[in-house]
Amino acid sequence: MGEVSRFWRESVHRYRLMGNQCGNCKRIFFPPRDVCPICHRESIGKMKDYTLSGNGTIESFSVVHDVPPAFTRQRPYIIAIIRLDDGPSVTGQIVDSDPGEVEMGKRVTSVFRRVAQEGESGIIEYGYKFVLA
């Protein structure tokens, strides 16, 4: 899945962990949404950009052995769902740690890294990953 434009379109959010906030109920969302799922039409036109701190807690994780082609070089890697301090949860890799060090409840912070590579000389995708804090 190497369509450049699709991923380039989202890159600003991916590079800076930029979500948004509902101007009506003040809930924070990541990824950003055009409509708040709680406030519906009350939120339209009131969703404001919000850059997340990148600090959070590991809710749960998996050590992935059967991986898609673009992730072959990273195998095995740790994919986790992180509860960010600002509210929303995100899916991302935990890097720079042995699987034995990673535990549910541990604190993490976001870093900017290469995420995937399409083939030997293919497109390189960048985005956020997480490291133990």
Partner 1 sequence: MSDVYIIGAGETKFGELWERSLRELAVEAGLKAIENAGIFSRDIQVLYGSNSLAGIINGQENIGALISDFSGIAENHIPAIRVEASTASGGAAVRQASLAIKSGEYDVVMVGGVEKMTDVYGSEIIDLTSSVLDREWEAFFGATPASLAAITARKYMADFGVDKEALAMMSVNDHLNASKNPDAQFKNKISVEQAMGATPVAEPLNLMDCSPVSDGAAAILLASEKYVKKNKIDGIRIASSADAQDYLAVHSRKSLYALDSARIAGKSALEKAHVKLDDISFAELHDSYSIYGLIELEELGFAEKGHAKDLVFDDIKLGGRIPVNPSGGLKAKGNPFGATGVGQFVEAYRQLKNKCGERQVKGAKYALLHSMAGTGSMSVVHIVGGE
Report the alpha-carbon distance of residue 6 to residue 3 in Å, rounded.
6
Q: Does 77 bind partner 1 (CB under 8 A)?
A: yes
Nearer to partner 1 among residue 54 and residue 88 (C-beta): 88
> In this structure, is the dihedral angle defined by the CA atoms of residues 93, 98, 100 and 105, taken in order, positive or negative?
negative
Nearer to Zn ion among residue 25 and residue 44 (C-beta): 25
Q: Does 47 bind Zn ion (CB under 5 A)?
A: no
Q: Which residues bind partner 1 (CB under 8 A)?
A: 1, 6-7, 10, 14, 31, 37, 59-72, 74, 77, 79-81, 88-93, 99, 104, 115-116, 125, 127, 129
